[in-house]
């Protein structure tokens, strides 16, 4: 018999309000083994990780550490048990130095329990040497690039000789050689007896690094098995549970004249010299790593942020800098990335949320026409098949996928000529995802020009007629559908010119 797993969960369930994030999931992490966690966005991977890290308390199920039951009352407990987590979004303290960020909460001490600043500095320096990176421990975390922030997170995990290393898409913002170096470090840790849980959307990375794989779909456990003998297609089938074609129902459309034309758009320090066109009937994918400046371009085009140089034209009409209302009047709509913070008013009803974009149009004698607002909202809620009890319910009570549909409804109700969607399917379930894709495809067929920003490569490849790729604030590639592959897009997104 092998040793008991270092860390394991049995029968884990967790719900947030009405949303069931995890249901009866089990997972075993063994010393010296790299374990992949596969699943689509919204499959429950992040919730599982946060439960292992002590951030969430499970509703049901048991955690065991070295075979004995354990309860993590908070992230501190998990850390003390040797569980290190590197999150997708780096969690740094912008005002503090890099060295302090690494050792916060467990700094080396000298007499009287005082923090030994010299030792902190030296230890951080040693970690960076071990990782072979050139970072100044005294530098404040504010202003670090995403890749540098990720390195600080990895140094943090290394600093307490973690027995269990959990990595939530650590490679998403790294270049090829940085990934290779990270994998080198992870392999060393694994050979020294650490258990590794690894999440990545790049399947080849899973096969490269891991021995076992656990697949989640819609919060449920699909399989937990050795990777040997599996193919990428097997994994995809387990993750998606249906054929890819069905998930990406892209129709062939008649491509018309240019609807959105962006020329040499620059916002200093954010993006530089961005030029592209989107034609009627076309879905253009905008790919790139987190922090490449994609959302920022979208915000500038729509007028939420100002640009420093360049022009934006919608159907031949130049837009004013920093004026969303003229952009809307010209037929532009932006479905933002973060629906909670930017897309919806959570406490307001579905009806009112959809109605927000019509405050200027559904007016009679200077007053809001409530009847017109309701019928306009109902019409769109039905067309998008939003699942709700009553249209007067608060949007916050809906599931993530339905919330996303409400945001879409809100903007589609303005009958846009150009639709910019930023991460339209992040964190929503597979079924709704396919519906959103079908909707985008139908809109394009009706002659709407669609610009789709997405970090989900299969989505970009499955939906876009053309793929634009950004890397560190610049457009680095324009790839037609026929030539777009994971490799060609990732190469451009990581700055390796293909």
User: Residue written as tokens 């970072």?
Assistant: 135
Following DSSP, what letter does each residue of 140-158 receive, concatenated? BSTT--HHHHHHHHHHHHH
Q: Which residues inside 146-175 make contact with other proteins, applying CB under 8 A?
A: 147-148, 151, 175
- Residue 240's H or E segment, with its range, is helix 232-240
CB of 44 to other proteins, least distance (A): 19
> Residues 55, 119, 258, 348: which binds other proteins (CB under 8 A)?
55
* Distance of alpha carbon 413 from alpha carbon 434, whole angstroms: 21
Q: Which residue has the tokens 């005082």?
A: 114
From the CA atom positions of the chain, what is the Rg in Å? 24
Nearest to 465 by CA among 444, 447, 492, 496: 444
Give yes or no for residue 229 binding other proteins (CB under 8 A): no
Q: Are 497 and 476 in contact (CB under 8 A)?
A: yes
- At closest approach, how far in Å is the CB of 115 from other proteins? 6
CA distance 148 to 371: 53
**Interface with other proteins, residue 109, by CB under 8 A:** yes
User: Is residue 136 near other proteins by the rule CB under 8 A?
Assistant: yes
Look-up of token digits 């809906």: 398
Site for other proteins contains 107 (CB under 8 A): yes
Choose the binding region for other proteins from 95-103, 204-212, 338-346, 424-432 (rule: CB under 8 A).
Answer: 95-103
130: contact with other proteins by CB under 8 A = no
Out of 28, 100, 351, 435, name the contact with other proteins by CB under 8 A.
100
CB of 69 or CB of 269, closer to other proteins: 269
Query: From the CB of 140, what's the least distance to other proteins, in Å?
Result: 5
Choose which of 11, 24, 60, 93 interacts with other proteins (CB under 8 A): 93
Residue 192 found at the interface with other proteins (CB under 8 A): no
Q: Edge-to-edge strands of the sheet including 258-267?
A: 271-279, 258-267, 309-314, 317-318
Instruction: Give the separation between CA 22 and CA 198, rounded to whole angstroms.
Output: 18
Q: Does 368 bind other proteins (CB under 8 A)?
A: no
| Residues 171-190 close enough to bind other proteins by CB under 8 A | 175, 177-178, 181
Nearest to 260 by CA among 289, 286, 291, 288: 286
Residue 194, token pair as written in the block: 């650490």
Quick check: 140 binds other proteins (CB under 8 A)? yes
Choosing from 8, 25, 85, 439, the residue that interacts with other proteins (CB under 8 A) is 85
Cβ 111 to other proteins shortest distance, Å: 11
Paired with 265 in beta bridges are 274
DSSP 389: S
Residues 459 and 428: their CA atoms lie apart, in Å, by 13
Closer of 2 and 497 to other proteins (Cβ) = 497
Contacting range for other proteins; rule: CB under 8 A; set: 9-17, 143-151, 296-304, 354-362:
143-151
Binding site for other proteins (CB under 8 A): 53, 55, 74-80, 85, 87, 91-96, 100, 104-105, 107, 109, 113-115, 117, 132-136, 138-140, 142-145, 147-148, 151, 175, 177-178, 181, 268-270, 472-473, 495
């Amino acid at each position: 018999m092998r040793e008991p797993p270092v860390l394991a969960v049995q029968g884990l369930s967790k719900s947030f309000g009405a949303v069931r994030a995890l249901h009866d999931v089990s997972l075993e992490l063994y010393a010296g083994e790299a374990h992949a966690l596969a699943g689509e966005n919204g499959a429950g991977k992040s919730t599982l990780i946060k439960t292992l890290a002590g951030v969430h308390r499970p509703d049901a199920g048991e955690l065991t550490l070295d075979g004995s039951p354990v309860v993590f009352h908070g992230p501190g407990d998990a850390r003390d048990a040797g569980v290190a987590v590197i999150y997708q979004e780096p969690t740094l303290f912008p005002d503090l130095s890099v060295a302090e960020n690494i050792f916060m909460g467990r700094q080396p001490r000298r007499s009287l329990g005082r923090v030994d600043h010299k030792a902190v500095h030296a230890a951080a320096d040693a970690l960076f040497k071990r990782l072979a990176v050139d970072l100044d421990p005294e530098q404040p975390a504010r202003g670090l690039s995403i890749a540098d922030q990720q390195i600080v997170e990895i140094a943090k995990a290394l600093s307490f000789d973690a027995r269990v290393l959990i990595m939530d898409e650590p490679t998403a913002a790294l270049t090829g050689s940085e990934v290779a170096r990270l994998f080198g470090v992870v392999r060393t840790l694994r050979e020294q007896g650490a258990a590794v849980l690894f999440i990545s959307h790049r399947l080849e990375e899973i096969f490269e690094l891991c021995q076992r794989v656990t697949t989640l779909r819609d919060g449920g456990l699909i399989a937990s098995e050795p990777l040997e003998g599996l193919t990428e297609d097997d994994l995809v089938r387990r993750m998606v549970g249906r054929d890819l074609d069905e998930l990406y129902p892209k129709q062939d459309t008649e491509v018309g004249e240019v609807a959105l034309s962006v020329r040499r758009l620059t916002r200093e320090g954010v993006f530089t010299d961005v030029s592209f066109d989107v034609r009627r009937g076309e879905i253009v994918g905008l790919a790139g790593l987190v922090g490449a400046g994609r959302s920022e371009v979208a915000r500038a085009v729509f007028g939420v942020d100002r640009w420093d140089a360049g022009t934006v034209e919608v159907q031949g009409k130049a837009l004013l800098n920093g004026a969303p209302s003229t952009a809307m009047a010209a037929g532009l709509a932006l479905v933002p990335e973060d629906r909670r913070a930017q897309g919806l008013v959570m406490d307001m009803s579905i009806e009112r949320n959809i109605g927000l974009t019509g405050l200027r149009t559904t007016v009679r004698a200077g007053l809001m026409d409530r009847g017109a607002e309701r019928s306009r909202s109902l019409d769109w809620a039905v067309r998008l098949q939003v699942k709700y009890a009553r249209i007067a319910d608060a949007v916050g009570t809906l599931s993530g996928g339905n919330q996303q549909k409400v945001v879409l409804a809100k903007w589609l109700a303005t009958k846009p000529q150009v639709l910019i969607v930023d991460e339209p399917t992040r964190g929503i379930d597979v079924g709704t995802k396919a519906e959103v894709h079908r909707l985008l495809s139908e809109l394009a067929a009706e002659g709407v020009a669609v610009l789709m920003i997405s970090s989900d490569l299969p989505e970009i490849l499955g939906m876009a007629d053309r793929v634009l790729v950004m890397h560190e604030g610049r457009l680095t590639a324009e790839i037609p559908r026929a030539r777009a592959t994971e490799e060609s897009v990732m190469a451009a997104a990581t700055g390796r010119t293909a």
